[in-house]
Structure 1
């Protein structure tokens, strides 16, 4: 049962982070991956800072923060988009 919650939280976290960082979603599969990796990254960062979260809402917050960090790190390595006026 917990595995299903991890998937749901991963999808939600990836979706929320992609909306915050880029203004659009990547699709359900990529959002799931971003959310899951973000959850691991967020858990690592929170543990290093001594922050503890509990419950589903705490897991969602941790995953969203980690997913935002992940998307920010990825954006550092991507080529900037050129815009023409």
Structure 2
């Protein structure tokens, strides 16, 4: 069943992509473009989320440290 969904979503994504890029392609090529594009896009998106997750964690740590220093300087000095 998952394979069928992959083909359906791939066909829809491939159709939209070929229309946006103004490329005339047959149905198997459209499906292949959609499925391969989904695989590539999924990998890139997961990598970006992972990298942004690390960056967000670092930013959060810096902001937390700044807040702690502010509280310490404001209330304990």
Q: Do these two structures clear the TM 0.5 threshold for a shared fold by scoring above it?
A: yes
Match of 2:31 in 1: 32
TM-score with structure 2 length normalisation? 0.59
Larger Rg: 2
> 2-side partners of 1:25 and 1:9: how far apart?
19
Give 1 or 2: higher helix fraction.
2
Answer whether contact 1:10 1:39 (CA < 8 A) is retained: yes
Match of 1:70 in 2: none
Pairing 1:1-85 to 2, within 5 Å after superposition:
1-22=1-22, 24-50=23-49
Answer whether contact 1:15 1:25 (CA < 8 A) is retained: no
The runs of 5 or more residues in structure 1 that have no matched partner are 52-85
Answer whether contact 1:18 1:26 (CA < 8 A) is retained: yes
Q: Shift in Å at residue 25 of structure 1? A: 3.7
The runs of 5 or more residues in structure 2 that have no matched partner are 51-77
Q: Which has the higher contact order (CA 8 A, sep 6+)?
A: 1
1:9–1:25: structure 2 CA closer, same or farther, 3 Å change rule? Answer: farther
